[in-house]
Structure 1
Amino acid sequence: MRVIRAGIDTYQQPVVYMHRDCEICRSEGFVAMTRVQMQLGHRTLIATLNVVVGDMVAVDEVALSEAAWNALAPEPGVLASFRHPEPAASVGALRAKVFGERLDESQYLALMQDAVASRLSDLELAAFVAASAGERMDQGEATALTRAMLAVGQRLDWGEGLVLDKHCVGGLPGNRTTPIVVAIIAALGYRIPKTSSRAITSPAGTADTMEVMAPVALDLPAMRRVVEREGGCIVWGGNVRLSPADDIMIRIQRPLDFDSDGQLVASVLSKKIAAGSTHVLIDMPVGPTAKVRSEVAGAHLATRLGGTASAFGLELDVYRSDGRQPVGVGIGPALEALDVLKVLRNDADAPADLRERSVALAGALLEMVPGNAAGTGASRANEVLDSGRALAKFLAICEAQGGFREPPHAEFTADVTAGVSGRIAAIDNRRLARIAKLAGAPGSPAAGLATALRIGHVVQRGQPLFAVHAQSRGELAYALEYAATAAPFAVEEVA
């Protein structure tokens, strides 16, 4: 069949489109959602079939989604052949996990190999994610999954010396400390090659926020050049493919809107180990509407992270922080980037909580370095910020990654006001995040919301609680409609 480009973004999932009356569909018995193996010269790809009933595709054509097109890079007019793929070798392991059995390292390796080779459908991968949730993946399995993810990806070697890194487990809107921490650490002469994810369940990931200020889709040689030149970087991990299996799992988790402790451990540590890190600090916000809900859950996750890190000889520390309320003013890629720049520039209106968290995390990471005295890290981090050295280093990293740019601003904004006067008793992080996502974040970089209110603040009826930012009137309306009933701020009337 003649190959054409469908021009349809299926978000990393290879999809092919055939007319229902084409000879291949009839002879091979292909129906919608069938897994098909496509042969293009020496290149093969396993994809999901969508059947076209209109005239978008001719009966002698096959149209490729963007993910499939980019994977094969076909020449104009090329012909492709199709057949049913061999059953995935890991199907037995997948079924075993679904029925509650414990898997060993060889089974996890088979699952990750099949996932990376597209031999497992998104439905099968979703079943694996669900079967691994909660307490259904133990410590040993988390370590085995980490090892399997490492085996199917690439690993960086930075040679002798320390390689520092930090990671936040997420769940706290606006907690965009990474660019500030990287700038501080690199300005002090340490290596900190930071690979970050795009948003999974949040309105912005570190890569989304960084991308509004500088390119992040660097390949491995480019990433290495930046680190060798500036000591640090902030790049999207999906493009350097240090843990491609994890990128696939993230794709599955995003619409499901959850991940499990075991998979979170494997996700975080597989990328840190693959990036060549020797010392890693984990920021773990704990709060009733954060990803980690309680101190008990935090202790459990910290134990899992520490156990797996130890198995790989990785030095790891966990910094538990207040996860009851958002950090900074902005929630959404560009709004969070504005907060980051204000802190780095020492602006008078820079969010104090974002600066304090960044300094605390940078200080804790510095104190993990052998020979650095305990209790001195925060003061060193503050000095680097105050002197402007952190800003200079951040801008230098941006230039090395392809050039700095100022964050964009949304075209449409609207305030959501308090219905009663009183004191803010609680803030629902998840509802704030949902409002920002309904406004268009992270897909529309300038979208999201902005608020400086915190628990304990007193508000008057009619006072703005937060401002919604959107790139279209429709997204603004969606966010405002939800905000009208969601009530992310719990206001107690003051007697």
Structure 2
Amino acid sequence: MALRRVAIDTYHENVVYLNRDCAVYRAEGFQALSKVEVRANGRKILATLNVVDDGSIVGCGEVGLSEDAFAQMGVDNGHTVSVSQAEPPESMGALFRKINGERLNKNDFLAIVRDIAHHHYSKIELTAFVVATNRGEMDRDEVFYLTDAMVACGRRLDWRSNLVVDKHCIGGIPGNRTSMLLVPIVAAHGMLCPKTSSRAITSPAGTADTMEVLANVELPFDQLSDIVRDHHGCLAWGGTADLSPADDVLISVERPLSLDSPAQMVASILSKKIAAGSTHLVLDIPIGPTAKVRSMPEAQRLRRLFEYVASRMHLSLDVVITDGRQPIGFGIGPVLEARDVMRVLENDPRAPNDLRQKALRLAGRLIECDPDVRGGEGFSIARDILDSGRALSCMNAIVQAQGSKHFNHNQPKLGALTFEVLAHANGVVTGIDNLHIARVARLAGAPKVQGAGVDLVRKLGDAVSMGDVLYRVYADFSTDLEFARQLSNKFSGYTVGGVEDLPHVFVEF
């Protein structure tokens, strides 16, 4: 049969399309959502079958493949391929045991993760695994087995250095672009910090989205390797490095279901960092009323699980519990966040102080991984690097090496359409809902529209009078602006009250 590329993004799921009137479809007894095997030139993929009745999509005698599946086949449009019924994945027995609540061993998880990484599972089977591992807490050894398997089933980078540092936040706090400050600070100190980051999935911007405002982030690994060797760091999208590929597939199911269990979080984060070649990691766990983690006991349980698995994986881990009561910085959205980052690097008086201080403290913790630095000295070293302009020079060098976009943070190109959200009472800001503000920014178009998002004018503890501006929303399209306006009209995301109503937070700096 002739291969046909069907330009549909099925998000980490291989899908094959056959016409209902196709002789092969009828002869083989295929049915919709069954698993089929497609072969060509000695290569094969497993895919979920979709049946079409429109010959303009896939005609008789043709096999259609979704974007991901077509890329994996590695042959041209029109190439001859064969299609047959697929055997069930070898790990199905282990999957069924997990669904029944049984404890799995190291080989069970390796088999399951290998089949996931090779796209042998349908979305239904993936969902069953994600729900089964979320429904009942996996014990800490199972989390280690899952993490180890996720590393084993992908590429593992070797930077030929005994000290490769990185930082990661568990997420949920808008505007938290500390990585874009930490990398140039740590790199200017002479430490290796090859930062491969993700794009946003449910947030208004990921590190890669914001860095893309300044420079190219989709670069071949050989080029990134040269940049890291020359400048001690990079800020790039990690999607081309094939690091822990099973994690990318699992995320495609976890995010729509809003599942983010501690076990899956630990395995996802640590597998990516270990596969990226990190030897030392600072992990940021924010606590707040609308953060992912909302109490100190919950944060301590998560810390202990991270520390256990990291120790088994021979990764040096420093967990830092931080203030997650509100967004970090002022801007939420790629251009606005890039503006804040550059203002901090340039020591601009308009720079958000919370972003500066948090980045300095996290960078200080990483600098203290240097055996020549005494404990407690990291913050002052990081501050000196930032204040002297060395971090800015390092960032500019990385931007030029990755391909500068010539971003002007003094005149950032924001969305042409805007509206302001105003306070409805007098008092002080006692609450800012992270999730709600992030949703407003996404409805405004972020991160796909780089200049869209939310620019905060008031932060926690600020005094406000009725009619004062709380934040401004930017969009490029009237429909996006209207969606964001409707949501903010229902609830601004801000709570105004008395000073005594301010939420307390316990941080470990």
TM-score using structure 1 length: 0.96
Q: What amino acid is aligned across from residue 444 of structure 1 in structure 2?
A: V
Q: Does 1:468 align with 2:470?
A: no
Distance 1:7 1:411, change over 3 A: farther
Matches of 2:354 and 2:112 in 1, distance apart? 42
Distance 1:11 1:349, change over 3 A: same
* Higher mean C-alpha deviation, range 300-309 or range 14-23: 14-23
Matches of 1:135 and 1:232 in 2, distance apart? 40
Matches within 5 A, 1:253-332: 253-332=254-333
How far off is 1:295 after superposition?
0.6
What is the alpha-carbon root mean square deviation over aligned residues? Answer: 1.8
Q: Does 1:251 align with 2:252?
A: yes
Render the CA deviation track for 1:81-105: whole Å, top value 9, x for unaligned. 1111110111122222222221111
Q: In structure 1, what is the equivalent of residue 197 of structure 2?
A: 196
Q: In structure 1, what is the equivalent of residue 69 of structure 2?
A: 68
Q: In structure 1, what is the equivalent of residue 129 of structure 2?
A: 128
Runs of 4+ in 1 over 4 A off after TM superposition: none
Q: In structure 1, what is the equivalent of residue 503 of structure 2?
A: none
Matches of 2:128 and 2:477 in 1, distance apart? 36
Matches of 1:112 and 1:66 in 2, distance apart? 22
Matches of 2:277 and 2:499 in 1, distance apart? 54
Q: Does 1:441 align with 2:441?
A: no
How far off is 1:143 after superposition?
0.6
Distance 1:266 1:405, change over 3 A: farther
SS of the equivalent of 1:288 reads: coil
Matches of 1:409 and 1:437 in 2, distance apart? 14
Distance 1:141 1:201, change over 3 A: farther
8 Å CA contact retained: 1:328, 1:452: no
Q: Does 1:222 align with 2:210?
A: no
How far off is 1:358 after superposition?
0.5
Matches of 2:406 and 2:147 in 1, distance apart? 36
8 Å CA contact retained: 1:129, 1:259: no
SS of the equivalent of 2:3 reads: strand
8 Å CA contact retained: 2:5, 2:77: no
8 Å CA contact retained: 1:203, 1:434: yes
How far off is 1:418 after superposition?
1.9
8 Å CA contact retained: 1:3, 1:77: yes
Question: Structure 2: where are the runs of 5+ without partners?
Answer: 501-509
Matches of 1:68 and 1:143 in 2, distance apart? 30
Q: What amino acid is aligned across from residue 315 of structure 1 in structure 2?
A: S
Distance 1:431 1:76, change over 3 A: closer
8 Å CA contact retained: 2:218, 2:236: yes
How far off is 1:168 after superposition?
0.7
Matches of 1:91 and 1:129 in 2, distance apart? 14
8 Å CA contact retained: 1:395, 1:404: no
Matches of 2:445 and 2:35 in 1, distance apart? 32
How far off is 1:178 after superposition?
0.1
SS of the equivalent of 1:132 reads: helix
SS of the equivalent of 1:239 reads: coil
8 Å CA contact retained: 2:331, 2:453: yes
Matches of 1:464 and 1:308 in 2, distance apart? 46
Q: In structure 1, what is the equivalent of residue 50 of structure 2?
A: 50
How far off is 1:411 after superposition?
2.9
* Higher mean C-alpha deviation, range 403-412 or range 381-390: 403-412
How far off is 1:197 after superposition?
1.8
Matches of 2:136 and 2:288 in 1, distance apart? 20
8 Å CA contact retained: 2:18, 2:52: yes
Distance 1:488 1:117, change over 3 A: same
Matches within 5 A, 1:7-406: 7-56=7-56, 57-133=58-134, 136-406=137-407
8 Å CA contact retained: 2:91, 2:112: yes
8 Å CA contact retained: 1:201, 1:258: no
Q: What amino acid is aligned across from residue 229 of structure 2 in structure 1?
A: E
Match of 2:490 among 482, 485, 489: 485
How far off is 1:221 after superposition?
1.9
8 Å CA contact retained: 2:455, 2:472: yes
Render the CA deviation track for 1:349-386: whole Å, top value 9, x for unaligned. 11111111111110111123223112211111111111
Q: What amino acid is aligned across from residue 183 of structure 2 in structure 1?
A: V
SS of the equivalent of 2:190 reads: coil
* Higher mean C-alpha deviation, range 119-128 or range 297-306: 119-128
Matches of 1:213 and 1:11 in 2, distance apart? 27
How far off is 1:492 after superposition?
2.1
How many residues align? The count is: 495
Q: In structure 1, what is the equivalent of residue 2 of structure 2?
A: 2
TM-score using structure 2 length: 0.93
How far off is 1:135 after superposition?
5.2
Q: In structure 1, what is the equivalent of residue 429 of structure 2?
A: 424
Matches of 1:202 and 1:130 in 2, distance apart? 22
Q: What amino acid is aligned across from residue 472 of structure 1 in structure 2?
A: F
